[in-house]
Amino acid sequence: MNFLPKLWNYIKKLSLIVALIAAVVTGGWMAYLYDISKKPQIAEKQLIVEGHNALNIGRYADAKRIFEEELKINPQNQQAAWGLKIAEIRQTFFQPEFKEAIDTLYQQNPNDAHVNLFLGEFYATNDQPDKAVQYYEQAIGQNSKLAEAHYDLAMLYDQQGNYEAAKVESLRAIDIAPLPKYRNNLGTVYFKQQHYEEAIREYGRNKEYPLSALESAKIYWHLEYLSQALSYQKQAIKWLEDEMIMSKPENQEAWYYEIAPGKEIELVKLEEKKSYAYLCLSISLYLQGDRVGAENVVKKLRDLAVARQADINALLTADLDALVQANGSFAEQMAAYKQLYL
């Protein structure tokens, strides 16, 4: 008789343990299912944030890809659909239909910072700086993280010769996103002010960024430190010939140069950038008296068969004219170089 109560107590304890285990397992499974149900929302928010971050720093191809990815997951996401429109329209900036398209977006949402940024860029390109500044400032007021608006303002002030304002806006862009192109722009402002030490320091903060190395070399031309210029140019070419380095997002961007008031040249393709770098290197060799070395480098760039070589030659001509203006001792050599190669 004593055996039955003991057995009953044992069964009750065992049942309780089984119930507890079942509760734990069930709770854990419910928590897992809950987490799984939440993950798409987290991923969705993450993609939207990534897309907006790409827009804020002017990487429109990346933004387009990110928003397209989100729309595949969630076709009804209105934020992604709008972001995709913004990215796609900016990629048509130099096409005739751009202004009409951006005006349409402005009518739909005049408070969108990127729409106002693009209007500012349009008016800056069409020599209406006052309107451009108005839209840039409006864009900044609407989006405090819009580094591109500060960058564009810096370039506009630079073109106007307002270097102090250009430095302020460059620094604001860098504070938001310390990208190589923003630092390079600040270095160029210092260069124009002949603050060479500050310019070289700013360029030097950009690692594996050929454009800044080439700009540093120009400063050493002005200072007649030709061996240092040669060193920077060789470093730039080494980076340009490294596929991994040149696949970085910052090295996929175009290089912009102002060769005269209101006239810009952009180097987009890798071959164009290489051609420019080779010509810069050949100039340093020529100035050092190494005519054979200069000729060999020019032969190498001719093998690139760049379609826009005339534009690159015009850019180098502007560089050499600026060098001669700053340092007349190079006048005779530069005239001879231009006659031979440009």
Domain match, 79 and 113 both: no
Domain match, 122 and 168 both: yes
- The phi and psi torsions of 257 (rounded to 5 degrees) equal -135, 135
Tokens of 135: 């839209």
Domain match, 241 and 316 both: yes
Q: Where among 53, 88, 123 does a domain terminate?
A: 88
286-319 exposure pattern, b = at least 16 Cβ within 10 A, e = fewer: bbeeeeebbeebbeebeeeebebbebbbbbbebb
Q: Where among 71, 88, 105 does a domain terminate?
A: 88
Q: Is the separation of the CB atoms in 259 and 315 below 8 Å?
A: yes
pLDDT for 170-214, tens place per residue?
Answer: 999 999 999 999 999 999 999 999 999 999 999 999 999 999 999
pLDDT bin (cut points 50, 70, 90) of residue 263 is: confident
Domain match, 44 and 143 both: no
pLDDT bin (cut points 50, 70, 90) of residue 337 is: very high
Q: What is the pLDDT of residue 43?
A: 53
In a domain, 29, yes or no: yes
On the question of pLDDT at 232 being above 90, the answer is: yes
Domain match, 280 and 165 both: no
In a domain, 102, yes or no: yes
How far is the C-alpha of 296 from the C-alpha of 303, rounded, in Å?
11
In a domain, 4, yes or no: no
Q: What is the pLDDT of residue 180?
A: 97
Residue 25: give the domain boundaries. Answer: 18-88
In a domain, 193, yes or no: no
pLDDT for 27-57, tens place per residue?
Answer: 444 444 444 444 444 555 898 999 999 999 9
Q: Where among 66, 88, 110 does a domain terminate?
A: 88
Q: What is the CATH number of the domain that holds 158?
A: 1.25.40.10
Q: What is the pLDDT of residue 117?
A: 98
pLDDT bin (cut points 50, 70, 90) of residue 15 is: low
Between 165 and 32, the more confident residue is 165
> Scanning the structure block, which residue is given the tokens 């200069």?
294
**CA-based angle 323:324:326, to the nearest 5?**
65
Q: Which has the closest alpha carbon to 151: 125, 102, 184?
A: 184
Domain match, 284 and 229 both: yes
In a domain, 40, yes or no: yes
Domain match, 77 and 45 both: yes
Length reported for the chain: 342
| Mean pLDDT of all residues belonging to the chain | 89
Domain match, 285 and 327 both: yes
Q: What is the pLDDT of residue 258?
A: 87
Q: How many domains does the chain have?
A: 3
What average pLDDT does range 297-320 have in this prediction? 93
Helix (H) or strand (E) holding 205, with range, is none
Q: What is the pLDDT of residue 11?
A: 54
Q: What is the CATH number of the domain that holds 82?
A: 1.25.40
Domain match, 137 and 221 both: no
Looking at the chain, list the stretches that DSSP marks H as alpha helix, in order from N- to C-terminal side.
3-56, 60-73, 78-90, 98-108, 113-125, 129-142, 147-159, 163-176, 180-192, 196-204, 210-222, 226-240, 243-246, 249-252, 270-287, 291-302, 309-326, 331-341
Q: What is the pLDDT of residue 44?
A: 54
Q: Is 259 helix (H, G, I), strand (E, B) or coil?
A: strand
